[in-house]
Amino acid sequence: GNLKPFLHPRFEIVSLHEGFTDNDLRISLFTDHQIFDRYHKYHIKGLFRKSEQITIQELMALQPGDYVVHIDHGIGKFAGLQKIEVNGRMQEALRLVYKDNDILFVNIHSLHKISKYKGKEGTEPALHKLGSGVWNKTKQNTKRKVKDIARELIALYAKRLAAPGFAYSPDSYLQKELEASFIYEDTPDQLKATEAVKAGMEAPHPMDMLVCGDVGFGKTEIAIRAAFKAVADNKQVAMLVPTTILALQHYKTFSERLKDFPCSIDYITRFRKPADQKNILKRLAEGKLDIVIGTHKLVGKEVKFKDLGLLIIDEEQKFGVAVKEKLKQLRLNVDTITLTATPIPRTLQFSLMGARDLAIINTPPPNRHPIHTELHVFDEDLIRDAILYEVSRYGQVFFIHNRIQNIFDIQNLINRICPQVKTVVAHGQMDGTQLERIMTDFVSGDYDVLISTSIIESGLDIPNANTIIINNAHQFGLADLHQLRGRVGRSNRKAYCYLLAPPLSSLTGEARRRLKAIAENTDLGSGFNIAMQDLDIRGAGNLLGAEQSGFITEIGFETYQKILTEAMQELREEEFGELFADQSPSAS
C-alpha span between 527 and 549 (Å, rounded):
20
pTM for this structure?
Answer: 0.69
* CB atoms inside a 10 Å sphere around CB 429: 8
Residues near 507 by beta carbon (within 8 Å), at least 6 away in sequence: 474, 501, 515
Residues facing 469 on adjacent strands:
399, 498
Computed over every residue of the chain, the mean pLDDT equals 81
Q: What is the pLDDT of residue 546?
A: 52
Number of H helices, E strands in the chain: 20, 20
Answer yes or no: is pLDDT of 49 > 50.
no
Q: What is the pLDDT of residue 569?
A: 82
Answer yes or no: is pLDDT of 478 > 90.
no
Q: What is the DSSP letter of 127?
A: P
Q: What is the pLDDT of residue 456?
A: 65
Residue-range domains of the chain with CATH: 56-117 (2.40.10.170), 147-365 (3.40.50.300), 372-523 (3.40.50.300)
> Rg (Cα) of the chain, in Å, rounded?
29
Task: For 399-436, write each residue's pLDDT tens digit.
Answer: 999 999 999 999 999 999 999 999 999 988 888 778 87
Instruction: Give the mean model confidence (pLDDT) for residues 532-536.
Output: 50
C-alpha span between 566 and 287 (Å, rounded):
47
Instruction: Give the mean model confidence (pLDDT) for residues 461-475.
Output: 90
Instruction: Give the mean model confidence (pLDDT) for residues 20-24.
Output: 76
Residue whose C-alpha is closest to residue 355's, from 197, 566, 208: 208
Instruction: Give the mean model confidence (pLDDT) for residues 240-257.
Output: 89
Q: What is the DSSP letter of 522?
A: -
Instruction: Give the mean model confidence (pLDDT) for residues 314-322.
Output: 79
Task: For 542-573, write each residue's pLDDT tens digit.
Answer: 555 555 656 777 787 778 878 888 888 888 88
Comparing 197 with 443, the larger pLDDT belongs to 197
C-alpha span between 176 and 171 (Å, rounded):
7
* Percentage of the chain exceeding pLDDT 90: 35
Q: What is the pLDDT of residue 417?
A: 96
Q: Is 457 helix (H, G, I), strand (E, B) or coil?
A: helix
Q: Do 455 and 385 form a contact (C-beta atoms < 8 A)?
A: no
Q: What is the pLDDT of residue 458?
A: 59
